[in-house]
Amino acid sequence: MTRAERQDLNGNVTGKVTLLIVDDHAAFRSFARDLVSAAGFSVAGEAEDGESALTAVESLRPDVVLLDIQLPGIDGIEVARRIADEPDAPTVVLTSTREASEFGARLSMSGARGFIPKGELTADRLTELVSNGRP
């Protein structure tokens, strides 16, 4: 079910929010899948690098992308920037084992909804960030 199929007449998303997990560590993807599923998200798919993330966004049309910054090839911030350039772009939440300060101004210019350090990633933080209005 694509996003368009889950929108009512007013354009509000109905049903489960779909989410794409992008991380090059299989163990983290597996953990994140459990975490977001428990929080009521529907996992649309997984990707392990920047290129396949962009393809997956194109084909799966998820509502949310949980995007690791350190990826092989193009990094998460660049992926977020390219996603944001697309029409009807999904909400992007960036995450990393590094602290936000290490990325500096690049984070705020990425077009992502927000950043959650991996160590602080919980279902609540994610839901809160996704359900809040755009900053």
Partner 1 sequence: MKLREAPKRRGDGGDLPEVGDGAATRASTHRAEAAVGLVDRVLWAAYRRLGRHYLPAMVFGFALVLVPGGSEFANWIHGSHLLPGASRTVLWIEIHLVVTATAIVTWLRMWPTTAAVRRWWRTGRPDARAPAVWTSLSTLSRKGTVTFIVALLAIDTIGTVSMAGALNEGIRGTLSSLLGSTFLASGGMVLAYFLIELVVRPVVFDAASRLPRDFRPQARAIPFGAKVFGSLLGASWFACGLGLWIGSGDEPLAELLAPGLLVAGVTFVGVLLMTLLITRALKRPMDDLIRMSRQAGTGDFRARAPVASADEQGELTASFNQMVGDLGRVNDALNVSRARIVAASDEARRKVERDLHDGAQQHLVLAQLKLGLLEREISDDERARKIANDLRGELERGLQELRELARGIYPATLESEGLPGALSEVAERSPMDMTTDFDSAGRYTRELETAVYFCCLEAIQNATKHAGDGAQATIRLRSEGGALRFELVDDGVGFDASSTSPDGGIQHMADRLGAVGGELKVRSAPGEGTTVSGSVPIVASPSARGGDR
* Least distance between partner 1 and beta carbon 26 (Å): 11
* Least distance between partner 1 and beta carbon 88 (Å): 26
127 — phi, psi (to 5°)?
A: -60, -45
* Rounded CA separation 135/119 (Å): 23
- When asked if residue 27 is in the footprint of partner 1 (CB under 8 A), the reply is yes
Hey, which bits of the chain come out as E strands? 18-22, 42-47, 64-68, 91-96, 114-117
25 — phi, psi (to 5°)?
A: -100, 115
- When asked if residue 48 is in the footprint of partner 1 (CB under 8 A), the reply is no
Number of residues interacting with partner 1: please give it, by CB under 8 A: 25
Q: Which residues of the chain form contacts with partner 1 (CB under 8 A)?
A: 24-25, 27-28, 31, 34-35, 69-70, 74-75, 78, 97-99, 101-106, 118-119, 121-122
